[in-house]
Chain A
Amino acid sequence: MDKPLETDKRPLLQVRDLRIGATAYPPGEPPRKIEIVKGVSFDLERGKVLGLIGESGAGKSTIGLAALAYGRGGVKITGGRVLLDGEDILGLGRRGIRGVRGTRVCYVSQSAAASFNPAHRLMDQVIEATLRHGLATADEARARAVRLFGLLGLPEPETFGNRFPHQVSGGQLQRAMTAMALCPEPELIVFDEPTTALDVTTQIDVLAAIKSAIEQTGTAALYITHDLAVVAQVADDIMVLRHGETVEHADTRKIIENPDEDYTRDLVNVRAVRHTEAAEQSDRFFEMAGINAAYGPTPVLHDVSLHVPRGQTLAIVGESGSGKSTLARVATGLLAPNTGDVRFDGETLPPQLKHRTREQLRRMQMIYQMADTAMNPRQTVGQIIGRPLRFYEGLRGAGQRRRVGELLDQIEMGQGFIDRYPAELSGGQKQRVAIARALAAKPDLIICDEPTSALDPLVADGILKLLTGLQRERGLSYIFITHDIAIVRAIADSVAVMHRGRLVRFGPKSGALSPPFDAYTDLLLKSVPEMRLGWLEEVLSTRQIESADN
């Protein structure tokens, strides 16, 4: 035991030399023990917020769960101490820990949609832990929940709890989950990427709600995220983690404005890719004119017209459900439009995929968001990249293998990967292989459907550099679908903003992303977190419209 301090001065949470291990099962090798967290220590005082930040695999979620003395899926806490108010919760045993979880320490997970039981009303789930632990009577708990709903900015707080999870939006559900965590009036809440799965326009509301709720209830919080700009808005201190070790731990202002470590500086300065837009954009190399499309009776696209000049990048932005992926399906022929034409290099393409010629298909390739599912897990890298070579050029045997090797060099991976399976690659490597597969067809246009949104910022940056480099070398045109304005600024020549199936803005980047804005573009642009303190407050006070979510 540490020397007993005066209760009010003692930090709420003290983590000392925390070590967490797991067993890894690398394909084709015997299982071995690995250490996920290698001796991390920190203090968290009452009412303060500590941000844990790092790429995937940095161990940040694992540390967050350790604050509840919990190890997820085979993960074991192997050493160190987690002191909650001076008491080591790792030694409490099953019964003892139950008195901590859900009463003194609560947890908010990334995917609220997956964490709520769809068969029960929100209210019953929000007050469940409070009732089970006997912290309040049902009426008190309900009153508390209603107050929290109001505090978190949920619509109609009195009746909100009567709804089922499917009757509210993703952002509202995330806030309901925060209410659930706050309801037992815990001393500490662990937020595990609470806004990562949300659109930027929704993220900002949830972020503001979480921030004001923390301030008003005086709860301490661990805020886990991979987005430094987000955590900078809510945290008092930030701890940067990498490979299970602390890189840097300081107050937020110091991390953002004057970091000591190179790695932190990389995180702050991510998006080093810069692309100045082309001056001449009248070329209609690829064009979609007057597209109306529907899934069955549900109209999705309304009169969308846009074009991409040869060798340039068109970024299509919008939140989920805005129709941007559907536009890609129309372009590729997977969904035939009801009206409108798709023209490519002077010829009008048949609306349906099966009527397009092999040559037409070859010239337009696609890169997907999830590289995991975009590649057949039973084929090697060589087979995946080799197939388009064989299919379009009839290249086989040694010639094909040589070309695959060249393509692997171009995506900066090297020929050693040719006989690997996708499962043996990292997320960034998988996306690179997907790019090589598209390149193998020697296309003129590549449609990229959020190719970096599932990747860590630094890895994503590498992919963007690769794509822009390839564009310069080969004169490729890109249609780049994304919800990330920072990426648009980095790589686009022209921008199309989609909202509810309509094109609200289209034109050269400089024009489209500068005022005067229509209301939606304004909201979208202002919702992108900026890497500075006070951004959140500033934005909330100057917005033209509320997000669609409310």
Chain B
Amino acid sequence: MKQTLRSIPVSAWIGMAGITVAVICALFAPWLAPYGENQIVGDPWAPSSAEYLLGLDNLGRDLLSRLIYGARTTLFVAFVSTVLAFSLGSFLSFAAAAMRGPVDVGLSRINDLLMSIPTLIFALIVLSALPQNMTVLILVMAVLDATRVFRLGRALALDLSTMDFVEAARLRGEGTLWIIFREILPNALTPLLAEFGLRLAFAVLFISTLSFLGLGIQPPTADWGGMVKDNKDGIIFGVSAALVPGAAIAVLTVSINLVVDWLLKRTSSLKGGRGDG
């Protein structure tokens, strides 16, 4: 075990540290934040001081407190939508690969259709038509992300389903569900896990983008993309408030990617690839 811990590269440790900080903020926001989420404590865009470490935002709310509460919203939406996307995408893709024939063709073409529409525009149209609440937001993000997972999952499962052990299960008379969950899924898990990290990073960016455009998390709930939008006008006056949540998004995304890089390298060496060693 010690050996495996030591084999984790420094970059992955940095990434894990970044993610841990964000997760702790999200979990313990009410206890960590010095002020309330929507509590107005001073003048708009007051500079940073001993009292307000990162300064105040456009309405005079504490930026640090909102950043901590924002981590909660941003991470929650990103995480839940990614989990949903993976459940949906991998199940459908494995089913397509295991059943082949018309099921495969049908699902794949629907997937192609969804993928051919630019994601952001698609989300913008759907979200402006549907009621703007968190559930709808998460579902829309999940469905859009599931198309990417489907592509990967189908490729993985097609490789696996030509293996003799899947044929052996088929010859035994096993049903499709057994083949999907017992034969294919356990073998596809590691590469899917790496992809999960990557998609999570994209989800953070996506929800931030939507909030910035005003179709994501609705005010007054704090979230990082929305905070950039609230404070963007300050940049004209030399107020750096918009840069703080922007930096938080960047740091979190980079952190996730550092961990994913390491995971991907591990899975490729597990699959017998030569890696780059």
Q: Nearest chain-A residue to B2 (Cβ)?
A: A30
Question: What chain B residues lie within 8 Å of A356 (beta carbons)?
Answer: 173
Asked if A376 is an interface residue, CB under 8 A from chain B, the answer is yes
Pick from A353, A362, A366: contact of B168, CB below 8 A. Answer: A366
Q: Which of B70-93 contact A (CB under 8 A)?
A: none
B166 → A minimal CB distance (Å): 8
Bound complex: CA A353 to CA B175 (Å)? 12
A130 → B minimal CB distance (Å): 29
Bound complex: CA A353 to CA B167 (Å)? 11
Question: What chain B residues lie within 8 Å of A376 (beta carbons)?
Answer: 165, 182-183, 186-187
Pick from B163, B164, B170, B172: contact of A387, CB below 8 A. Answer: B172
B77 → A minimal CB distance (Å): 32
Question: What chain B residues lie within 8 Å of A373 (beta carbons)?
Answer: 163-165
A245 → B minimal CB distance (Å): 29
Question: What chain B residues lie within 8 Å of A437 (beta carbons)?
Answer: 168
Asked if A361 is an interface residue, CB under 8 A from chain B, the answer is yes
Q: Nearest chain-B residue to A367 (Cβ)?
A: B168
Asked if A370 is an interface residue, CB under 8 A from chain B, the answer is yes
Bound complex: CA A376 to CA B173 (Å)? 16
With contacts A30-B3, A31-B3 taken as known, whether A368 is within 8 angstroms of B173 at the C-beta atoms is: no
> A365-393 toward B: CB 8 Å interface, digit per residue (1/0)?
11010100111111100000001100100
Q: Is the CB of A391 within 8 A of B165?
A: no
Bound complex: CA A437 to CA B174 (Å)? 14
Bound complex: CA A391 to CA B173 (Å)? 9
Q: Is the CB of B187 within 8 A of A368?
A: no
Asked if B129 is an interface residue, CB under 8 A from chain A, the answer is no
> A323-334 toward B: CB 8 Å interface, digit per residue (1/0)?
000000000111
Bound complex: CA A332 to CA B3 (Å)? 47
Asked if B50 is an interface residue, CB under 8 A from chain A, the answer is no
B158 → A minimal CB distance (Å): 15
Bound complex: CA A112 to CA B183 (Å)? 34
Q: Nearest chain-B residue to A30 (Cβ)?
A: B3
Asked if B130 is an interface residue, CB under 8 A from chain A, the answer is no
B174 → A minimal CB distance (Å): 7
A302 → B minimal CB distance (Å): 25
Q: Which of A310-363 contact B (CB under 8 A)?
A: 332-334, 353, 356, 358, 361-362
Question: What chain A residues lie within 8 Å of B3 (beta carbons)?
Answer: 30-31
> B152-178 toward A: CB 8 Å interface, digit per residue (1/0)?
000000000001110110111110000
Q: Is the CB of A334 within 8 A of B165?
A: no
With contacts A378-B186, A378-B187 taken as known, whether A361 is within 8 angstroms of B163 at the C-beta atoms is: no
With contacts A30-B3, A377-B187, A378-B186 taken as known, whether A334 is within 8 angstroms of B164 at the C-beta atoms is: no
Q: Is the CB of A332 within 8 A of B171?
A: yes
Bound complex: CA A437 to CA B186 (Å)? 20
A376 → B minimal CB distance (Å): 5
Bound complex: CA A333 to CA B170 (Å)? 10
A439 → B minimal CB distance (Å): 13
Q: Nearest chain-B residue to A365 (Cβ)?
A: B171
Pick from A332, A333, A374: contact of B164, CB below 8 A. Answer: A374
Question: What chain B residues lie within 8 Å of A31 (beta carbons)?
Answer: 3
> A423-443 toward B: CB 8 Å interface, digit per residue (1/0)?
000000000000001000100
Q: Nearest chain-B residue to A383 (Cβ)?
A: B182
> B171-212 toward A: CB 8 Å interface, digit per residue (1/0)?
111100000001100110000000000000000000000000
Pick from A30, A334, A375, A441: contact of B172, CB below 8 A. Answer: A441
B47 → A minimal CB distance (Å): 55
Q: Is the CB of A358 within 8 A of B165?
A: no
Residue of A334, A358, A378, A441 contacting most chain B CB atoms (<10 Å): A378
Pick from B171, B183, B187: contact of A353, CB below 8 A. Answer: B171
Bound complex: CA A332 to CA B165 (Å)? 15
Question: What chain B residues lie within 8 Å of A358 (beta carbons)?
Answer: 173
B258 → A minimal CB distance (Å): 25
Q: Nearest chain-B residue to A437 (Cβ)?
A: B168
Bound complex: CA A99 to CA B41 (Å)? 78
Question: What chain B residues lie within 8 Å of A375 (beta carbons)?
Answer: 165, 168
Q: Is the CB of A391 within 8 A of B172?
A: yes
Residue of B3, B164, B187 contacting most chain A CB atoms (<10 Å): B164
Pick from B165, B167, B172: contact of A361, CB below 8 A. Answer: B172
Question: What chain B residues lie within 8 Å of A374 (beta carbons)?
Answer: 164-165, 168
Pick from B163, B167, B182, B186: contact of A334, CB below 8 A. Answer: B167
Bound complex: CA A308 to CA B171 (Å)? 20
Question: What chain A residues lie within 8 Å of B168 (beta carbons)?
Answer: 366, 368, 374-375, 437
Question: What chain A residues lie within 8 Å of B165 (beta carbons)?
Answer: 373-376
Q: Is the CB of B173 within 8 A of A370?
A: no
Q: Nearest chain-A residue to B165 (Cβ)?
A: A376
B112 → A minimal CB distance (Å): 24
Bound complex: CA A235 to CA B95 (Å)? 55
Bound complex: CA A5 to CA B164 (Å)? 58
A8 → B minimal CB distance (Å): 44
Pick from A30, A366, A379: contact of B171, CB below 8 A. Answer: A366
Question: What chain A residues lie within 8 Å of B170 (beta carbons)?
Answer: 334, 353
Residue of B165, B170, B186 contacting most chain A CB atoms (<10 Å): B165
Bound complex: CA A362 to CA B3 (Å)? 46
Q: Which of A462-493 contact B (CB under 8 A)?
A: none
Question: What chain A residues lie within 8 Å of B164 (beta carbons)?
Answer: 368, 370, 373-374
A455 → B minimal CB distance (Å): 16
Q: Which of A1-42 contact B (CB under 8 A)?
A: 30-31
Bound complex: CA A368 to CA B186 (Å)? 22
Q: Is the CB of B187 within 8 A of A361?
A: no
Bound complex: CA A395 to CA B148 (Å)? 41
Q: Is the CB of B173 within 8 A of A334?
A: no
With contacts A373-B163, A374-B164 taken as known, whether A334 is within 8 angstroms of B187 at the C-beta atoms is: no
Q: Is the CB of B172 within 8 A of A388?
A: yes
A410 → B minimal CB distance (Å): 19
Q: Nearest chain-B residue to A438 (Cβ)?
A: B168
Question: What chain B residues lie within 8 Å of A441 (beta carbons)?
Answer: 172
Q: Is the CB of A391 within 8 A of B174?
A: yes
Question: What chain B residues lie within 8 Å of A30 (beta carbons)?
Answer: 3
Q: Is the CB of A334 within 8 A of B171?
A: yes
Q: Is the CB of A361 within 8 A of B171?
A: yes
Bound complex: CA A199 to CA B237 (Å)? 80
Q: Nearest chain-A residue to B4 (Cβ)?
A: A30
B109 → A minimal CB distance (Å): 21
Question: What chain A residues lie within 8 Å of B163 (beta carbons)?
Answer: 373
Bound complex: CA A361 to CA B164 (Å)? 16
A446 → B minimal CB distance (Å): 12
Bound complex: CA A334 to CA B161 (Å)? 13
Q: Which residues of B come within 8 Å of A, CB atoms? A: 3, 163-165, 167-168, 170-174, 182-183, 186-187
A-B contact pairs, 14 of them (CB 8 A): A333-B171, A334-B167, A334-B170, A353-B170, A356-B173, A358-B173, A368-B164, A370-B164, A373-B164, A373-B165, A375-B165, A375-B168, A391-B173, A441-B172
Q: Which residues of A come within 8 Å of B, CB atoms? A: 30-31, 332-334, 353, 356, 358, 361-362, 365-366, 368, 370, 373-379, 387-388, 391, 437, 441
Known: A353-B171, A361-B172; 15 extra A-B contacts, CB below 8 A, are A332-B171, A333-B171, A361-B171, A366-B168, A373-B164, A374-B164, A376-B183, A376-B187, A377-B187, A378-B187, A387-B172, A391-B172, A391-B174, A437-B168, A441-B172
